[in-house]
Copies of this chain bind each other. A is one copy, B any other.
Amino acid sequence: MSKTPLRQTSRSLPIALLRARETVMGPVREMLSASGVNEQKWRVLRVLDESGPLDQSLLAEKACLQLPSLTRILKAMDEQALVTRATDPDDRRRSIVTLSEAGRQVIEDHVDANRALFQRLEAAFGAERMETLLDLLEDLNRTDLKG
C-alpha cells in the first residue's frame, strides 16, 4: 500500500521561493495595510518613482505584473489619483503612466518604515549573505532554459 515516493523532494526550490515571498512580503503587506495601497500598487509606485514615466508594457515588466493585471490596477490607481495616464503622441497605442504628487506622497509616507523593515531583515540575515542571495537570484533569472 505504501510504495516509496516517486521522487524525494526534501529540498524544493519552488516551495522555498514561495515561502521566501511570504517571509519578505508579509511584513510589507502589514506595513501598507492601512494606507489604501496594496503590495502591487506599491510596486507600481516604486517603479514609477525610480524610473520616471513609463508605458504600460515596460511598467508591467519592471513591476513584475502581467499587462491585464496592470490595466486593472492602473484603473484603480487612476481613480485614487495616484497616477495619470496619457496617450503617447508618437505612438497612440501606447499609454504613458506618470506618478502624481499624491502618489509620490504615499511613497514618502511609507518609505521610512519600508527601509527600516529591510534593514531589520538584513541585520537578522546578514548583509553579506543578502548580497549573495540577491546575486544568485538575479543570475537565476538570467538563466534561460532554451539551451
Chain A residues with a Cβ under 8 A of chain B = 2-3, 5-9, 11-25, 27-28, 43, 46, 49-50, 52, 62-64, 104, 107-108, 111, 114-115, 117-118, 120-121, 123-125, 129-130, 132-134, 136-141, 143-145, 147
Q: Check if B49 sits within 8 Å of A5, measured CB to CB.
A: yes
Known: A6-B49, A7-B111. 12 other contacts (CB 8 A): A5-B50, A6-B111, A7-B115, A14-B21, A17-B17, A17-B137, A19-B64, A20-B140, A27-B145, A124-B143, A132-B132, A132-B136
State in angstroms the CA–CA spacing of A140 and B21 once bound together.
10
Is chain A's binding surface mostly helix, strand, loop or mixed? helix
Q: Check if A137 sits within 8 Å of B50, measured CB to CB.
A: no
What would be 21 A-B contacts, judged by CB atoms less than 8 Å apart?
A3-B104, A5-B50, A6-B49, A7-B49, A7-B107, A7-B114, A13-B134, A13-B137, A14-B43, A15-B62, A16-B141, A17-B21, A18-B64, A19-B141, A23-B140, A23-B141, A124-B143, A124-B147, A125-B143, A133-B136, A136-B136
Q: Check if A15 sits within 8 Å of B27, measured CB to CB.
A: no
Residue numbers in B under 8 Å from A18 (CB-CB): 21, 64
Measured CB to CB, the closest approach of chain B to A120, in angstroms, equals 6
